[in-house]
């Protein structure tokens, strides 16, 4: 069975500091993709970054990078130089390509940036 685990319900970080949000996953499928989404208080879901299981390099998108450690089954999101606008819920998600494109989410981490 597939599972996504986010063990940090909430985090407080000082503005301009870097922050790492943890995500571990479990799947028996050799081919899968991992996603991170941001959900501000408005409720919209914003796609941040993607990592494929066969990608050789860690994904980066601007201030976001994904620390992918396949052997440990972890896909942590790193936000560099945090900003007040980064305060939101963050969700890790996984797509397993052999399971009819089913996508599941973790329970999320609420990130709060202090000025």
Partner 1 sequence: DGGITQSPKYLFRKEGQNVTLSCEQNLNHDAMYWYRQDPGQGLRLIYYSQIVNDFQKGDIAEGYSVSREKKESFPLTVTSAQKNPTAFYLCASSILAGDAATGELFFGEGSRLTVL
Residues that bind partner 1 in the complex, under the rule CB under 8 A: 6, 33, 35, 37, 43-45, 47, 50, 52, 91, 93, 95, 97, 100-108, 110
Report helix, strand or coil for 15. coil
> Is the Cβ of residue 15 or residue 44 nearer to partner 1 in the bound state?
44
CB of 44 to partner 1, least distance (A): 6
Give rounded-to-5 percent helix, strand, coil for the chain.
5, 55, 45
> Is the Cβ of residue 20 or residue 52 nearer to partner 1 in the bound state?
52
> Is the Cβ of residue 67 or residue 97 nearer to partner 1 in the bound state?
97
CB of 36 to partner 1, least distance (A): 10
CB of 100 to partner 1, least distance (A): 6
Pair 47, 37: CB distance under 8 Å: yes
The dihedral built from the CA positions of residue 69, 70, 75 and 78, taken in this order, carries a sign that is positive
Record the tokens describing residue 10, joined without a space. Answer: 């909430």
CB of 74 to partner 1, least distance (A): 17
Nearest to 6 by CA among 28, 25, 32: 25
């Amino acid at each position: 069975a597939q599972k996504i685990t986010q063990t940090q319900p909430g985090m407080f970080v000082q503005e301009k500091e870097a922050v790492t949000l943890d995500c571990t996953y479990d799947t028996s499928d050799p081919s899968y993709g991992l996603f991170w989404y941001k959900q501000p208080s408005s409720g919209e879901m914003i796609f941040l970054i993607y990592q494929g299981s066969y990608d050789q390099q860690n994904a980066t998108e601007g201030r976001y990078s994904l620390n992918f450690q396949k052997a440990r089954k972890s896909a942590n999101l790193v936000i560099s130089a945090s900003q007040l606008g980064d305060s939101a819920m963050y969700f890790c998600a996984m797509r397993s390509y052999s399971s009819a494109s089913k996508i599941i989410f973790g329970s999320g981490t609420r990130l709060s940036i202090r000025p």
